[in-house]
Chains A and B, each alone.
Chain A
Amino acid sequence: MAEAAVDREPTKVLEVENLKKHFPIKAGLLRRQVGQVRAVDGVSFHVEAGETLALVGESGCGKTTTGRLILRALSPTEGTILIRDGERVWPMHRLTAQELRSARRSAQMIFQDPFHSLSPRMTVIDIISEPLILNGVRSGSTRERRVRELMDVVGLPQQYLNRYPHAFSGGQRQRIGIARALALNPKLIVADEPVSALDVSIQAQILNLLQDLQSEFGLSYLFISHDLRVVAHISTRVAVMYVGHIVETGVTEDLFTRPLHPYTEALLSAIPEPDPHVDSEEIVLAGEVADPSHPPAGCIFHPRCAYAKKVCREEVPSLRRIEGRGESSRWVACHLADELTLRGAGLPAPQESEGG
């Protein structure tokens, strides 16, 4: 939370501060609220213009909820979300339904599952022009021109204009989804696991496309993923989430090679690198992921942490800046960050085989 407060510069496309989303749990005779699932519990981060911030974590850590909160597909319980588009700053957390319509031109979303994120009942042109229609592009011919343009941009043959999603492969569908997201020229794209449902070969196509689009249109990505290999490949910076909290952020390379949080270390150690020569010893975490409706006292990770001490069980660590532990600033929420020396991701593979 300190981070956003300290440096608020016009280069920041997205600023999130102390974002919370608590889902009520109702039970009992009168369905009274008896507790809450703290899906996102005080998250702060920002995305710089033109960069890709990866939000990583295991399933249920709250990263998808965070993504949806930013675009107000869900309403936050607490916190501020600012999206900056040129001179305009949208306080997403408190916009009315009417204002949101305008604000969403600045930020769009790409979904994980290309089978579910496209209406099976609409043709490609219908799907891509939907945001155009809804945002006042009245002329049909203008719309079609724009759709064709977008199809070019994402690499879809224009003759598929009148096809339905079911006629496309997963990769192509994801391209359609990307074209839809681009239709209104947003500044920020929240990409929620955009490639995890795709085959590896197609994954590469889409990742390349996302990178190309970023450089072409100056997009900023909030890239939500659980796949650290993909994250390593595409992101500028990484934020690691664990049970509703961000436990560590940093520039990608820095974070991968020198993790500061034991959870990041465990995550990195588990990456199966496609190289039979790499023989890493992965860290097996004890126990289960904490229950977000009954988070443990102290550090949320302490029950599974091999390094946990008394302080970890009692005090909640704040996300703090660690200087001099890398080329850029690092933030971590660990009491012991200064004491521990943690292992990074596997060493670079030796030489590529022929054709590499």
Chain B
Amino acid sequence: MATYIVRRVFYMIPTLLVISFLSFLIMQAPPGDFLTSYIAELSASGEQVDLELVESLRATYGLDEPWYVQYWLWISRFVRGDFGTSFEWNVPVRELIGQRLALTIFISMLTLLFTWIVALAIGVYSAVYQYSIGDYIVTTIGFLGLATPNFMLALILMYIAFQVFGISVGGLFSPDYTNAPWTWGKFVDLMKHVWIPVIVIGTAGTASLIRVMRANLLDELKKPYVVTAQAKGVPAWRALFKYPFRVAINPFLSTIGWLLPALISGDIIVSVVLSLQTTGPLYYRALLSQDMFLAGGLLMLLAILTVIGTLLSDILLAWVDPRVRYE
């Protein structure tokens, strides 16, 4: 097991290097650079830019260097934990990400909780009562969540929240609480807002999890050991939850690692529509404005989390499933 982990970590290095390189290429791929979009932004608001000044700015930010020089500068600093400074925000990337991390993780966790509770309950139900009317109904609802474009749902819920509940939309707090220190009131205010993203992001994920849970459980329910448990006189619910459920949930548990990057990125589109104070909109904006270090930092962070997440998943799988552990 230990050598396995060591080997996997060892493999991560070239993978991450390739990813960092690809990340950089992706950031460089769109024509123009941060200044191009900055100038466009300025001229769109009516400003006339001084092209001489722009060239000077380009030199200041090193954007006039060839891409491989820029890459080398970026990655060599990245390795040292220096993610550079965001052009647009004028703030070190690390700080920028750090600031939004807590709330992002909070929402992601909440969404996860929502998704899991709903998905597991429905998944178990529809597996146990396979082909019943209830199964068809929850399956359809699940798929409906999958089929509805997230951003649409976000927009509609946002409008409903505003119209019906009078909730001030955009972000996770009312303006009064945005910069306020944490109090009970602020928490309540957060909870008033947070259900929209949780539902919107959750529904899409729930549907697929329901399918996975249902399929896994159906597979497991066919296994002879279920009959064994039955023959032992174990009550049905206990037989269900102790055996097939435990086995069926394994692939689930192992996806926890995969959620790691999702915790950070969130659902970008939804968070943009809802103007959440999470990393998602930061990321989207950075990509659009070609805020290279910010976009690159986030991209790399996500890639690293994905790779670590995968490793974690495998370790977790080995932990929950003795069969894997001993292989």
Contacts and interface: CB of A to CB of B under 8 A. Distances in A.
Interface residues of B, number: 4
B160 to A, nearest CB: 53
B323 interface: no
SS class of chain A's interface: helix, strand, loop or mixed?
A: loop
B5 to A, nearest CB: 11
Interface string A1-30: 000000000000000000000000001111
Contact of A27 (B3, B6, B10): B3
Interface size class of A (residues with CB under 8 A): under 10
A34 to B, nearest CB: 10
B7 interface: yes
Contacts of B7: 28-31
A345 B6 CA distance: 55
Contacts, number: 9
B13 to A, nearest CB: 13
B80 to A, nearest CB: 27
B10 to A, nearest CB: 6
A143 B255 CA distance: 54
Interface string A92-129: 00000000000000000000000000000000000000
A37 to B, nearest CB: 15
Contacts of A28: 3, 7
A47 to B, nearest CB: 39
A55 to B, nearest CB: 30
Nearest to A28: B3
A31 B10 CA distance: 12
B320 to A, nearest CB: 23
A28 B3 CA distance: 6
Nearest to B11: A29
B52 to A, nearest CB: 57
Contacts of A31: 7
Interface string B1-35: 00100110010000000000000000000000000
Nearest to A31: B7
B326 to A, nearest CB: 13
Contacts of A27: 3
Contacts of B3: 27-29
A30 B8 CA distance: 11
A217 B6 CA distance: 60
Contacts of B6: 29
Nearest to B6: A29
A27 B6 CA distance: 12
Q: Which of B6, B7, B10 has the most CB of A within 10 A?
A: B7
A30 to B, nearest CB: 8
Contacts of B10: 29
Contacts of A29: 3, 6-7, 10
A28 B10 CA distance: 12
Interface string B95-121: 000000000000000000000000000
B8 to A, nearest CB: 10
A31 B8 CA distance: 12
A28 to B, nearest CB: 6
A57 B6 CA distance: 41
A30 B6 CA distance: 10
Contacts of A30: 7
A157 to B, nearest CB: 35
A81 to B, nearest CB: 33
A31 B7 CA distance: 9
B252 to A, nearest CB: 29
A12 to B, nearest CB: 43
Nearest to A27: B3
A105 to B, nearest CB: 41
Interface string A34-61: 0000000000000000000000000000
Interface in A171-199: none
Interface in A217-271: none
B231 to A, nearest CB: 25
A30 B11 CA distance: 10
A283 B6 CA distance: 48
Nearest to B7: A29
B224 to A, nearest CB: 19
Nearest to A30: B7
A31 B6 CA distance: 12
A40 B7 CA distance: 31
Nearest to A29: B7
A68 B7 CA distance: 34
A201 B7 CA distance: 54
B135 to A, nearest CB: 29
Given A28-B3, A29-B10, 4 more contacts: A27-B3, A28-B7, A29-B7, A31-B7
Interface of B: 3, 6-7, 10
Q: Across chains A and B, which 9 residue pairs bring their CB atoms closest together, nearest first?
A: A29-B7, A28-B3, A29-B3, A29-B6, A29-B10, A27-B3, A28-B7, A31-B7, A30-B7
9 contacts: A27-B3, A28-B3, A28-B7, A29-B3, A29-B6, A29-B7, A29-B10, A30-B7, A31-B7
